[in-house]
Structure 1
Amino acid sequence: MHPTPATHDVIIMGGGLAGLTLALQLKRRFGDIDVLVLERRSHPVPHATHKVGESSVEIGAHYFDTVLGLKQHLDEAQLRKFGFRFFFSEGRRDLDAVTEVGASRPLSIPSYQIDRGIFENHLAEVAAAQGVRFVDNAMVRRMALDPSPQGLHRIEWTESGEPHVAQCRWVVDACGRAGLLKRQLGLVQPNDHQAHAVWFRIGNRLKLDDWGQDPAWRSRCTPAARWLSTNHLVGAGYWVWLIPLASGSHSVGIVADPAFHPLERMDSFDKAMGWLAEHQPVLFDVLDGQRDKLQDFAFMRKFSYGCKQVFSGERWALTGEAGLFLDPFYSPGSDFIAMSNTFICDLIAHDRAGRSVQARAQLYDHIYHSFYDSTLALYQGQYGLFGDPEVLPVKVVWDYTYYWGVLSQLFFHDRLTDVATLGNLREELQHCQQLNIAMQGFLRTWSSQSQRRNAARMLDQAGLPWFAELNASLRDALPDAAAFQARLRQCVAQLRTLAHQIHRQALDEHPGLDDAALAALLAHPMPRTPIDHDAAPMLFERLTQPAAMA
């Protein structure tokens, strides 16, 4: 007779970022939970490991440093990020003579540049110390799901060639793009975002602050550490990322819409360098003498995809890239890991309490997909305006205001699984989603008429008091659900005011713009967030009329 398989509360297939953080979150919430993580790679993984997802933003950073309690590691072993920064440097070598978008000083809420190898090795050590059973060199071979109320799922895998089997109450796929559960259950769902990416690591720091000669430009930021930003070198149809890593390497990526820049022009390191020589010569010049420091190179065609379902009342779930993936612009990957893992933990909590999770899983799946749809609108069809020094800065401020004012408020104030509060705010959340989609279309239309003036100036986000205050508000202590609802409605009013002012300025410059969708939403009455647009504070003017750089 075969021995009875070991039984676990949760089996997580995949011991990368999504799977290990979920295991830690479960152990922090339920000290007695039995979690098995199956990882196909051997550990420890190399530093500067060959993965994207090195730049975190506020939700993901808060998840890592506060929800998971990893702040000491992030402060001591990773790099504090100096926000996002954009340079309209298409075809240019004079980085100090183009429009720059970014903050002159760090804002209140921290985010991090994460060396994935260092971080995932640390996560595995912490998980093991907290009682998670972590098995590397494990290849999942078969899954048999039992959806009955008291059923157990069965997982078969090989560990260094030896067969193993276990059963579990919950199974979570965190195995990345392999999408084991997604493929078995027929959940694959493509989207219409066609962008591709190439990326590589150079074994050296790229000190972007030294790329400009103008002393005024060098002193514009305090501290003078632009290199710690996620730097974007942008042009029509593409953007290039520059991300420093704690191991001393620098990550470089080119992300492009194939309608502008086909993958075949950049799908090897030599081709990518040739493409940079034409489109971003300032970066080519820096890299050309460091070809011997190349550590890896990879490319991916059409990296973005959806998923029909990620949470199930039949006690399975998908998290991270095993479910869906958007775009690396704005670095939302760790945010969506944070949100999906939080939903999964709450579903497991309800199941452990003996409650049905069918309706809740369906609701969370709907909410998560609405976040996905809202965020996809930031990218889909928008790459053409990335080279516009007049419209992209407006888009960046709008996108951040939407992110900090809606999604981040929900996560930081621990309301993501507060079903009653989400129900009370349903009208406002739906309106914000519709407003964002309309604004993205309006920005695209505006860019089609823009003169794309590329003045030597810095658009300083830290110089917008309301913008910095919105970022800092994520740390506010809100005593109860009523206070949170008041906060979110205040953010909705601010977002509507910003939309009204963007709309008005664009029409002042280009009276013939098609504004029907946006105008209709701005005319929509919101009884709980009344706004006198004519009396509203000017949120937008100081961004679009900055003083030129000295």
Structure 2
Amino acid sequence: MSIKAVAAAAANTASDDANVSAHDVVIMGGGLAGLTLALQLKNRFDSIDVLVLERRSHPVPHAAHKVGESSVEIGAHYFDTVLGLKPHLQGEQLRKFGFRFFFSEGRRDIDQVTEIGASRYLSVPSYQIDRGIFENYLAEEAARCGVRFVDNALVKQIDLAEDARQPHRLRWTQDGESHEIHARWVIDACGRAGMLKRKLGLAEPNSHECNAVWFRIGDRITIDHWSDNTEWRERCEPQARWLSTNHLVGAGYWVWLIPLASGSHSIGIVADPRIHPLDRFDTFDKAMDWFKTWQPALYDELDGKRHLLQDFAFFKNFSYGCKQVFSGKRWALTGEAGLFLDPFYSPGSDFIAMGNTYITDLIAHDRAGHSVEARAQLYDQIYHSFYESTLALYQDQYALFGDPEVLPIKVIWDYTYYWGVLSQIFFQDRLTDLALLGSLKEELQHCQKLNVAVQHFLRAWSGLTTKRNPAVMLDQAALPWFADLNRSLKDDLDDNAFRDRMRASAGQLRRLAAEILVRASTEHPGIEATELRMLLKEKMAMVPVHSTQGTMLFAA
């Protein structure tokens, strides 16, 4: 059944019984977060009645539609395995060649600067996703699975029930016609509009202030062609760099280059306003002038393609929190309707995956007749804990993005933390196993504290370096333990093995932190490291710090 046919069926249903229809779940917003939740619910409960109300008209345009095209391992696993969408992702989207970083500020000779990236694909896939293609497919797939999808729908009023025996009530309009619906659960997936957030006063700022602009160009940007240097071209899989999420980095900012399956390329500037104010690049012409100074090789690439500009947009202070995202009163927020971190490591789809998994589990317990008050509160605490620990990767860290000595170490640390802790929990399907996670509370809290201490230490270290920028590729695939950590996400662990894995991950993080401390302290004996030393001393009293030197990091 087509989307339009589903919309008509839903509208006709809504006209019955005095223009009121009842649904198990109403999802406000038919973008990435809302549609994947609808599919996850239908995968879990074949008979569940899900209505999705989407404000935009479908189908949506390709390429110039929404920002957030790059996925990482958790989000990719959610799409291809949890939701079973692998055929689409492998056939209609692009496999991502990991993250790649070039310290190319003010330079055209990209083959003569430090590059961070892998020379080959690692084991666990991720994808570059054309959001228009993907969301159109998700809407069709949802309709095929029995989800009622209504586009051009505008929610006008939400009345949340206080009594668990009563339904929530919503009023929405389509083409000027008004409808009233009742819902057991109401989910806000309407993005930054945040209808429930505004209604309930849940908006919460954080202290990470950054701005972003982005646009799409209707042509491929093949960074592999930016140099004729044969040795540089052959450092990694032939003609594959363009498939990476390429970061052109400098102090206080980074520029993204993301290819799209439709043939377009997504380009963005993300910057700390204390170093690069938004008004320097908040139009396409200003952005081009900015590129001419800060990333001239990209300027050269784009200057002859100005006529291929497809869109241009910006967000000021794009990062924000939310006081609560899950409620035992049968409502929840998912995706950007709740909170948003930073696009540097593309965590948006990860938090959609985790949020939707929590929502699905809450609805499952409610359908089984259980109270969800306590469980919703615990899920909210855990979700916010993940948010806070991930925020530490970005907060006050933009100044070191232009440091070719420290950023490579930070990337290794950040991914060891991500693959070793959060990814293990999600890939092993332990996100909702409260008893098992509770048994690991001490290890998880220690990892979070260690991450914060390392982020502080990296910032201090960068303040002392000379920013050496040699013409080398720091190949992450050449670190055997790093590639093995990525591969380990494919393991199938029982409870005891999962506990062992998490404890091993904590130990690996401690060893890596100790090596980082040794390297920085050797180069800069006076560096401040009190917080980090204390945490390591607590857990590594019997392990000499110097014993880890040279085993986990790139050669100095």
Task: Give the TM interval when normalised to the shorter protein.
Answer: over 0.9
Residue 496 of structure 1 aligns with an amino acid whose one-letter code is R
> 2:503 is matched with which residue: 489, 498, 522?
489
For residue 454 of structure 2, the aligned residue among 439, 454, 458 is 439
Task: Indicate whether 1:419 and 2:434 are aligned.
Answer: yes
Asked whether the equivalents of residues 15 and 37 of structure 1 are also in contact (C-alpha less than 8 Å), the reply is yes
Q: Which of 332, 345, 348 matches 1:317?
A: 332
CA contact (8 A) 1:242 1:251 kept: yes
1:540 corresponds to: 552
| Structure 1 counterpart SS, 2:18 | coil
| Mapping for residues 431-470 of structure 1, pairs under 5 Å | 431-470=446-485
1:72 aligns with 2:87: yes
**1:484-523 equivalence runs, <5 A:** 484-523=498-537
Aligned match for 2:136, one of 121, 132, 141:
121
CA deviation profile, 1:118-175 (whole Å, cap 9, x unmatched): 0000000000000000000000000000021212000111011210110111000000
**Post-superposition shift, 1:338?**
0.2
Once the 2 structures are TM-superposed, how far is the Cα of residue 3 of structure 1 from its aligned partner?
1.3
Q: Contact 2:518–2:549 at 8 Å: present in 1 too?
A: no
Task: Tell whether 2:390 aligns with 1:378.
Answer: no
Match of 1:165 among 169, 180, 200: 180
Give the 5 Å matches for 1:393-432: 393-432=408-447
Identify which of 518, 539, 543 aligns with 1:525. Answer: 539
Q: Distance in 1 between matches of 2:116 and 2:192?
A: 33
Native 8 Å contact 2:215 2:309 kept in 1:
yes
The answer to whether structure 1 residue 37 and structure 2 residue 52 are counterparts is yes
Matches within 5 A, 1:227-242: 227-242=242-257
Q: Secondary structure at the match of 2:40?
A: helix
CA distance in 1, matches of 2:474, 2:492: 31
- Aligned-pair distance for 1:525? 2.8
Partners of 2:423 and 2:238 lie apart in 1 by: 26
Partner of 1:284: 299
Q: Which whole-Å CA distance do the structure 2 matches of 1:447 and 1:497 have between them?
A: 21
Q: Are the counterparts in 1 of residues 515 and 548 from structure 2 also a CA contact under 8 Å? A: no
Query: Which of 83, 86, 109 is residue 124 of structure 2 equivalent to?
Result: 109
Shift of 1:224: 2.8
Asked whether the 8 Å contact 2:515–2:549 carries over to 1, the reply is: no
Q: Is the CA contact (8 Å cut-off) linking 2:21 and 2:181 kept in structure 1?
A: yes
Aligned counterparts of 2:229 and 2:177: Cα–Cα separation in 1: 63
> Could you tell me which residue of structure 2 aligns to residue 369 of structure 1?
384
TM-score normalised over the length of structure 2: 0.96
**For the residues of structure 1 that align with 2:316 and 2:145, how far apart are their CA atoms?**
39
User: How much has 1:2 moved relative to structure 2?
Assistant: 7.4
| Secondary structure at the counterpart of residue 499 of structure 2 | helix
Aligned residues of 1:497 and 1:531 also touching (Cα < 8 A): no
Q: How far 1:537 moved relative to its partner?
A: 7.8
Are 1:341 and 2:353 counterparts?
no
Please point out which of 53, 74, 91 is paired with 2:106.
91
Instruction: Decide whether the 8 Å contact of 2:64 with 2:311 is kept in 1.
Output: no
Q: Aligned partner of 1:229: which letter? A: S
Letter in 2 for 1:540: M
Contact 1:105 1:223 in 2 (8 A): no
Provide, for residues 380-434 of structure 1, a one-character-per-residue CA deviation record: whole Å limited to 9, x for no partner: 1000000000000000000000000000000000000001111000001111111
Deviations 1:483-518 (A, max 9, x none): 101111111110110001001110010011110111
Letter of the aligned partner of 1:410 in structure 2? I
Distance 2:146 2:412 in 1: 43
Fraction of identical pairs, as percent: 69
Q: Which residue of 1 aligns with 2:205?
A: 190
1:536 Cα offset (Å):
4.7
- Counterpart of 2:142 in 1: which secondary structure? helix
CA contact (8 A) 2:213 2:315 kept: yes
Residues 47 and 116, structure 1, Cα contact 8 Å, conserved in 2: yes
Give, in whole Å, the separation in 1 of the partners of 2:524 and 2:67. 39
Aligned to 1:355, the other structure's residue is in SS state coil
SS at 2:539 equivalent: coil
SS at 2:463's partner residue?
helix
Q: By how many angstroms is 1:112 displaced?
A: 0.2
**Cα offset for 1:534?**
4.9
Give the letter for the 2:117 counterpart. Answer: G
Cα separation, 1, equivalents of 2:540 and 2:199 = 44
Cα distance between partner residues in 2 of 1:471 and 1:137: 42
Aligned-pair CA distance for 1:539: 3.5
Distance 2:46 2:546 in 1: 55
Q: Secondary structure at the match of 1:523?
A: helix
SS in 2 for 1:386: helix
> 1:428, 1:489 within 8 Å by CA — same for their partners in 2?
yes
Moved over 3 A (4+): 530-539
- TM-score w.r.t. the length of structure 1 is 0.97
Q: Which residue of 1 aligns with 2:402?
A: 387
Residue number in structure 1 paired with 2:487? 472
Partner of 1:273: 288
1:110–1:405 CA distance, 2 compared to 1 (3 A): same
Q: Is the 8 Å Cα contact of residues 515 and 546 (structure 2) preserved in structure 1?
A: no
Instruction: Compute the displacement of 1:535 (Å).
Output: 4.5
Asked whether the 8 Å contact 1:202–1:250 carries over to 2, the reply is yes
CA pair 387-535 structure 1, distance change in 2 beyond 3 A: closer
- Asked if the contact 1:493/1:531 (under 8 Å) is kept, the reply is no
* Equivalent-residue separation in structure 2 for 1:537 and 1:448 (angstroms): 22
Contact 2:118 2:475 in 1 (8 A): yes
- The number of equivalent residue pairs is 541
Distance 1:434 1:376 in 2: 13
Say if 1:147 and 1:315, in contact at 8 Å, map to a contact too: no
Which residue type is aligned with residue 63 of structure 2? A
**Quick one: which amino acid aligns to residue 160 of structure 1?**
D
- Distance (Å, rounded) in 1 between the aligned partners of 2:267 and 2:447: 34
Q: Which residue of 1 aligns with 2:66?
A: 51
User: Which amino acid letter does the alignment assign opposite residue 384 of structure 1?
Assistant: A
Distance 1:508 1:54 in 2: 40
Secondary structure in 1 matching 2:158: strand
- Aligned CA distance change for structure 1 residues 109 and 210 (closer, same or farther; 3 Å): same
Mark the CA change 1:452 to 1:7 in structure 2 (over 3 Å): closer, same or farther: same
Task: Provide Cα deviations, 1:266-293, integer angstroms capped at 9, x if missing partner.
Answer: 0100000000000000000000010011
1:153 alignment partner in structure 2: 168
1:50 Cα offset (Å): 2.6
Verify the 8 A CA contact 2:258 2:265 in the aligned structure 1. Answer: yes
Q: 2:158 matched to 1:143?
A: yes
Amino acid at match of 1:18: A
Deviation at 1:526, TM superposition (A): 7.3
Q: In 1, distance between residues paired with 2:98 and 2:155?
A: 39
The Cα shift of 1:68 comes to 0.3
Which amino acid letter does the alignment assign opposite residue 426 of structure 2?
A: F
- Taking only aligned residues, the RMSD between alpha carbons, in angstroms, comes to 1.3
Shift of residue 531 of structure 1?
A: 5.1
Q: Which amino acid aligns with 1:505?
A: R
**CA separation in 2, counterparts of 1:53 and 1:180?**
21
